[in-house]
A and B are shown apart, each in its own frame.
Chain A
Amino acid sequence: EPEVTQTPSHQVTQMGQEVILRCVPISNHLYFYWYRQILGQKVEFLVSFYNNEISEKSEIFDDQFSVERPDGSNFTLKIRSTKLEDSAMYFCASSFLRATDTQYFGPGTRLTVL
């Protein structure tokens, strides 16, 4: 069964460094998403992406974040200058359609900022 994959599973970085989290969505899906989950808290929507541009973003997704689909398979989330509070689990998700379709999640990347 097709699934969303994410790399790395765990990323440790120093405060102020840039990180790139990678995702490979399900191959025929058209919509891509990033969510984050700070330890012990609820999952929060960051951004959605379709047709090579941002479709929607939350207030969390400020200028330090960016997303990109650099090729036909990968979808990346870049955090430009990491802060301690960026430590969280980051989930990528994809869906075939937009409004009506189920989003399928990847296993997540645990980001630890020291």
Chain B
Amino acid sequence: AQTVTQSQPEMSVQEAETVTLSCTYDTSESDYYLFWYKQPPSRQMILVIRQEAYKQQNATENRFSVNFQKAAKSFSLKISDSQLGDAAMYFCAYRIGGGADGLTFGKGTHLIIQP
């Protein structure tokens, strides 16, 4: 079974600084997708960024970027120029390509932004 591990229950960063959230996963598949979702206090899950395993280039969405290390099965999220609105729970998620439907989530990292 696939597992997703987020080893940092909580992270804190000063506003305008950069923070990196860690995620590792375990799979024997070669075709899969990785996601970071944000869950603010409103509890809605919002997609931050996605990465296809077959792509070597790291995904980037404005201030959010990932460091995808396929061999190490690592998928970290970097948030640059942190803003107060970035405060939330961040979940790393995995999905097999071409078959199974359900996302497998990590336990989440609570990100605190210090003003």
Contacts and interface: CB of A to CB of B under 8 A. Distances in A.
B100 interface: yes
B100 A103 contact: no
Interface of A: 31, 33, 35, 41-45, 48, 55-56, 58, 89, 91, 93, 98-100, 102-108, 110
Contacts, number: 59
Q: Chain A interface secondary structure, helix, strand, loop or mixed?
A: strand
23 contacts: A42-B107, A42-B108, A43-B93, A43-B103, A43-B105, A44-B105, A45-B102, A45-B104, A48-B101, A48-B102, A56-B100, A58-B102, A93-B45, A98-B101, A99-B95, A99-B98, A99-B99, A99-B101, A104-B47, A105-B46, A105-B47, A106-B44, A108-B43
B105 A42 contact: yes
A51 to B, nearest CB: 13
Contacts of B52: 100
Size category, B interface: 20 to 34
Nearest to B43: A108
Contact of A103 (B42, B103, B104, B108): B103
A72 B44 CA distance: 24
B33 interface: yes
B44 A108 contact: yes
A41 B106 CA distance: 9
A103 B34 CA distance: 12
A55 B101 CA distance: 8
Contacts of A44: 105
Given A42-B91, A42-B106, A42-B108, A105 B44 contact: yes
Contacts of B44: 105-108
Interface in B55-78: none
